[in-house]
């Protein structure tokens, strides 16, 4: 009986032995575990008190898939389709016509200005709670064109393990996304274990109005803050008010976040995910329109940032995909 | 020996028996303890899970003294004095001349525009870390003209107890201040137990720049966000992304924060501190230039907000002041 009990205890203990089980035992994993050991060991010269163990993560391409288009853009395009009946003029007007036809060339030609028009048409003019419900509904049903899974199943298993591992070591984990804060918050806690107050992102203007006696936050068609590139350190400072000690990104949009994080005093860790596995996920870097990683690749070694290769460093990519020995 | 052990255990237990010891056992205290009991009791129809137990507090006049002038304005005026040597032109130029002379009438005439000029001259043009150091240094030395204490000693003992009591009951406590976020953060954790990432406040513009190779967040002379009145629900939504279940303020600047908080579904608590004790602190409401409470007094009963009277509800005002039976 006692032996059986011991055996039963042994199974979960053995399974819990490696909190980063989906990571190959290579340099990237060692950089992470070495860093965490150094900053959490009392008496170590690199020790950091819990309150200052702030870790920030980009979202698109770092925590979940960003190809073939940003997931939030898929939401925008589907929402344009849903709203088209109320806007018959969209059938002839760009960029709406291109969005309805999923005409990538015409959308590309519409550029940033066109994208903003689509964003405002789909993200503003409703209350914050209505928008949260729209987002939650969409994310619960929409599926990725290649993987045919819900988008929230296209989060990276090694990153989920890393978030848990850091929190188990007294870190507070934050998302710092170029994407919209209101698009992420309704599901980030369920999927990543990151509560709304730890999500930093781009924002449109809000206005407080009492409408028919109901206090309401109305979303206005105006950009209030873009949390990308040099905006990321600004967004972090606004929301968190501390410089992180760990930053994890995957594109040049995360360059300044890593630069500012790792320039702080004491031990810091900057990580860049390199999408180099077309078979299990996607392969793209310097020439990609989405998630371009160019300057980051050039400077990573000089800056002391760890490059994480999906191909070599991740034994499993998604929670539902098979575990494999990493490629040689 | 066992009896001695029991006695030793008894002392701290007895001392800890009332976490709101500085509150008189009146209606305000009952409103608070009744609310907390209802939302924390598993199985209660009013139960709220820990993650949604968000409590927001105004700072000036709610957590610490705001008379005879906002403490941040005292910082501005002293800083103008320090910077005057570098700006000989200020001796002749308004509103700087008035600030240097502490000429209240001329300052009043300079109005909001003048105040903004003083704010920008003292709050911008330095890096975020330099400003944090300036604030921390000032708060460690400056003293209140009437009480002759450091400003961080002029926090209200009953509010410190309330913050602790809420946190002990699974609440996350936030400051939502009309004052500057960067002025509060350097000391809010030490004084209130509220970490920087749980401080919401007014903000000036920030810009990320690499200066002589050093990544820096530079404070720009431009208002980015005013966290007051209708701005408070907006600031809360931006930072926290949830509607609080408890809001505590003291002036009409907190009206919309209380209105939005208490309009949410389920059990909510709105509280307004009424400064009615000239002897132990200050007495002011409808006619005050600072912390005016007028519409809030009119509507509190209708809205179901609890009025907290310093005179009647607080047995002690400051951590260092004597405990007294509340006035009859």
Whether A257 and A232 have beta carbons less than 8 Å apart is answered as yes
Are the Cβ atoms of B233 and A208 closer than 8 angstroms?
yes
What confidence tier does B126 reach under pLDDT thresholds 50, 70, 90? very high
In the predicted model, is pLDDT for residue A243 greater than 50? yes
Q: According to the model, what pLDDT value does residue A108 have?
A: 85
What confidence tier does A328 reach under pLDDT thresholds 50, 70, 90? very low
In the predicted model, is pLDDT for residue A178 greater than 70? yes
> Using beta carbons and an 8 Å cutoff, which residues of B are at the interface with A?
51, 54, 128, 172, 181-182, 185, 189, 195-199, 203, 206-208, 210, 214-215, 217, 230-231, 233-234, 237-242, 256, 259-260, 263
In the predicted model, is pLDDT for residue B9 greater than 70? no
pLDDT tens profile A280-292: 999 999 999 899 9
Whether B197 and A239 have beta carbons less than 8 Å apart is answered as yes
The dihedrals phi and psi of A293, each to the nearest 5 degrees, come to: -125, 105
As a whole number of angstroms, the distance between CA A139 and CA A184 comes to 10
Which residue, A129, A130, A211, is CA-closest to B230? Answer: A211
Q: According to the model, what pLDDT value does residue B5 have?
A: 54
What average pLDDT does the structure give for chain B? 93
Q: What angle do CA B163, B166, B172 make, to 5 degrees?
A: 85
A208 → closest Cβ in B181, B242, B256? B256
Q: Which secondary structure element, helix H or strand E, spans residue A213, and what is its range? A: none
Domains of chain B: 19-68+150-313 (3.40.50.1000)
pLDDT tens profile A255-282: 999 999 999 999 999 999 999 999 999 9
Cis peptide before A251 (omega within 30 of 0): no
Residue A153 CA from chain centroid, whole number:
13
Alpha-carbon gap: A15 to the closest alpha carbon of chain B (Å)? 29
Q: According to the model, what pLDDT value does residue B104 have?
A: 85
Question: Could you tell me which residues come within 8 angstroms of residue A93 by beta carbon, excluding any fewer than 6 positions away?
Answer: none
Locate tokens 């309330």: which residue?
Answer: B162
As a whole number of angstroms, the distance between CA A315 and CA A115 comes to 36
What confidence tier does A295 reach under pLDDT thresholds 50, 70, 90? very high
Which residue, B228, B221, B219, B220, is CA-closest to B117? Answer: B221
Are the Cβ atoms of A185 and B214 closer than 8 angstroms?
no
Instruction: End-to-end CA distance of chain B: give it in Å, rounded.
Output: 45
Whether B110 and B121 have beta carbons less than 8 Å apart is answered as no
Q: Which residues of A touch B217 (CB under 8 A)?
A: 233-234, 237, 260
User: Which H, E and C letters describe B133-202, residue by residue?
Assistant: HHHHHHHHHCECCCCCCEHHHCECHHHHHHHHHHHHCCCEEEEEEEEEHHHHHHHHHHHHCCCHHHEEEE
- Asked whether this complex has an ipTM greater than 0.90, the answer is yes
B237 → closest Cβ in A54, A206, A260? A206
Cis peptide before A95 (omega within 30 of 0): yes
> What burial class does residue A328 get, using C-beta atoms within 10 Å of its C-beta: 0-12 exposed, 13-18 middle, 19+ buried?
exposed
Which residue, A266, A240, A135, is CA-closest to B189? Answer: A240
As a whole number of angstroms, the distance between CA B134 and CA B146 comes to 23
pLDDT tens profile B274-298: 999 999 999 999 999 899 999 999 9
A233 → closest Cβ in B208, B238, B242? B208
> Using beta carbons and an 8 Å cutoff, which residues of A are at the interface with B?
51, 54, 128, 172, 181-182, 185, 189, 195-199, 203, 206-208, 210, 214-215, 217, 230-231, 233-234, 237-242, 256, 259-260, 263
Are the Cβ atoms of B217 and A234 closer than 8 angstroms?
yes
Are the Cβ atoms of A237 and B51 closer than 8 angstroms?
no
Are the Cβ atoms of B231 and A208 closer than 8 angstroms?
yes
Q: What is the mean pLDDT of residues B289-313?
A: 97
Whether B269 and B53 have beta carbons less than 8 Å apart is answered as no
In the predicted model, is pLDDT for residue A5 greater than 90? no
pLDDT tens profile B31-76: 999 999 999 999 999 999 999 999 999 999 999 999 999 999 999 9
Taking 3-state DSSP, the helix, strand and coil percentages for chain B, each rounded to the nearest 5, stand at 45, 20, 35
In the predicted model, is pLDDT for residue B328 greater than 50? no
What confidence tier does B4 reach under pLDDT thresholds 50, 70, 90? low
In the predicted model, is pLDDT for residue B182 greater than 50? yes
pLDDT tens profile A128-147: 999 999 999 999 999 999 99
Whether B109 and B119 have beta carbons less than 8 Å apart is answered as no
Q: According to the model, what pLDDT value does residue A1 have?
A: 45
Are the Cβ atoms of B128 and A233 closer than 8 angstroms?
no
Measured between alpha carbons, how far is residue B203 from residues A313, A328, B137, B314 in Å? 41, 51, 20, 33
């Amino acid at each position: 009986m006692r032996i059986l009990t011991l055996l039963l205890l042994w199974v979960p203990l053995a399974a819990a032995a490696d909190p980063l089980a989906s990571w190959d035992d290579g340099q990237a994993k060692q950089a992470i575990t070495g860093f965490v050991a150094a900053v959490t060991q009392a008496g170590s010269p690199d020790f950091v008190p819990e309150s200052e163990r702030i870790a920030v993560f980009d979202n698109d391409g770092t925590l979940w898939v960003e190809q073939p288009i940003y997931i939030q853009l898929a939401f925008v395009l589907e929402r344009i389709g849903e709203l088209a009946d109320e806007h018959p003029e969209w059938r002839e007007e760009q960029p709406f016509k291109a969005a309805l036809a999923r005409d990538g060339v015409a959308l590309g030609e519409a550029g940033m200005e066109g994208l903003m028009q689509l964003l405002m048409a789909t993200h503003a003019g409703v209350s914050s709670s209505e928008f949260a419900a729209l987002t939650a509904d969409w994310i619960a049903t929409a599926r990725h064109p290649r993987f045919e899974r819900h988008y929230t199943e296209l989060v990276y298993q090694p990153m989920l393990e890393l978030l848990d591992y850091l929190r188990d070591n007294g870190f507070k984990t934050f998302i710092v996304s170029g994407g919209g804060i209101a698009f992420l918050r309704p599901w980030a806690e369920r999927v990543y274990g990151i509560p709304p107050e730890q999500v930093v992102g781009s924002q449109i203007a809000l206005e407080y109005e009492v409408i028919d006696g109901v206090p309401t936050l109305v979303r206005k068609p105006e950009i209030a803050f873009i949390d990308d590139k040099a905006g990321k350190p600004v967004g972090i400072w606004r929301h968190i008010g501390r410089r992180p000690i760990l930053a994890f990104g995957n594109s040049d949009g995360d360059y300044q976040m890593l630069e500012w994080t790792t320039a702080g005093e004491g031990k810091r860790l900057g990580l860049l995910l390199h999408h180099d596995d077309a078979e299990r996920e996607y392969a793209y870097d310097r020439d990609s329109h989405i998630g371009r990683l160019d300057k980051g690749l050039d400077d990573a070694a000089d800056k002391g940032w760890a490059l994480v290769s999906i191909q070599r460093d991740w034994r499993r990519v998604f929670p539902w995909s098979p575990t494999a020995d990493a490629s040689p």
